[in-house]
Amino acid sequence: MGKPKFSRKKYETPSHPWQEDRIKEENEMIKKYGLKNKREIWKAQTRLRKYRGQARELLAKVQTGDPQSKKESDQLLMHLNRMNILPAKSTLDDVLALDTQTILSRRLQTIAYLKGLANTPTQARQLIAHGHVAIGNRRVTVPGYMVTKAEEGEIAYTNDSPLNDMMHPARPRSDYSPVPTKKEVKPEEPKLEKEPAKEQKPEAKGEKPKEEASSEQSQEKPADETPKEPAAPIEQNKEEITPEPATEKKPEVEPETPKEEEKPTEEKTEETPVETEKNEEEPKKKEGNKDEEAK
C-alpha cells in the first residue's frame, strides 16, 4: 500500500539520461505546449504506453475469438473516443498509431489557449493556476487536467474573475469590442469608390483626343530620336578634345601672337622715320628751287 503521505510515482523516466534526439524533441514540446518541466512529458508518455500496451494484448486475444477480449477492446475505444483522442468507429490499429502530442493536446492548458482565453500557452497556464478558468461551474487549477469531449465546450472564465471584463488588458486582443467598430466606421471606403468613377468618365468622353495624343506622340518620337543620335558623338568629341589642347595648343599660341604683333610694329617704326625724312627733304628742295629762280 505504501505511505499515504507519499503517493506512488505516476510516470517512468527514460532508460538513458543522455540521448540527443530525445532531448531535442522534449525541448521542442516544452516550448510548443508551454510545459513547466519534462516530468509532464513523461506522464503523457506513460499514459500513451499503457494505451498501446493494452491494445497490443487485445489484438493477440481477438484473433483467438475470445468474447472478453472483444468487450475490453470496445471499452478501450469508447474511452479514447470520450477523451476525444480517437474519432468514432476507430480500430485497435489506430491506437498503435498514436503519439505523445495527441495526449498533450488534450490538456486543459492547451485547450484554453486554443479557445482564445489566453494569448500564449504560458499565459493559459498562469490563468489556470491562479483560478481564473472553470469547466462549467467547477473551478480547475490543474493545467494538466485531461479534458473530455463533453467538457470541452464548457471551458470559460470563472464568474468571479476580472477577466470577464472585455476591456481587461490580460484578455486576448481579438476579444476587444472597440476594434471592429473602428474599422467599420472608417471614411476611406467611400473615397475608394469615387476614385475609379472619376477615372472612367474622362475615358468615356475623351476617346478622340487619345488618338490625337497618340498621333502627336508618334510625330514627336522621330524628332526626339534625331537629336539624340548627334548629341552623343558631339559630347564625346568635346570630352576627347578638351584634354588634348589644354596641354599642347596653349603654349604654341602664346609665343606666336607676340611675334606676329612685334613684326608689324617694327616695320612701322622703320617706315615712319624714312617717310618723315622724305617729307622734310621735299620742302627744302622746293625752297632751294625758289631761291635759285629768284636769283
What pLDDT, on the 0 to 100 scale, is given for residue 268?
43
What pLDDT score does 172 carry?
87
Residue pair 61/69 in contact by the 8 Å Cβ criterion: yes
CATH of domain 107-177: 3.10.290.10
Confirm if 142 and 134 have CB atoms less than 8 A apart. no
Predicted confidence (pLDDT) at residue 115 exceeds the cutoff of 70: yes
What is the dihedral sign for C-alpha 208, 214, 219, 220? positive
Q: For the packed helices 67-82 and 39-62, what is the interaxial angle rounded to 10 degrees?
A: 150
- For the chain, domain boundaries: 1-104, 107-177, 257-295
Question: What is the edge-to-edge ordering of all strands in the sheet holding 155-157?
Answer: 138-139, 133-135, 155-157
Is pLDDT of 293 > 50? Answer: yes
pLDDT per position as a tens digit, 171-222 = 887 644 443 434 444 445 554 454 554 555 544 444 445 555 555 555 554 4
Max mean pLDDT range (7-11, 152-156, 251-255):
152-156
Give all strands (DSSP E) within the chain, no chain letters: 133-135, 138-139, 155-157
Q: Which amino acid is at 125?
A: R
User: What are the cell numbers at 75?
Assistant: 471499452
Contact 170, 131 (CB under 8 A): no
DSSP 238-276: HHHHTHHHHHHHHHHHHHHHHHHHHHHHHHHHHHHHHHH
Mean pLDDT value of segment 77-94: 95
pLDDT of 162 over the 80 cut: yes
Stated pTM of the model: 0.57
pLDDT at 282: 63
Length reported for the chain = 295
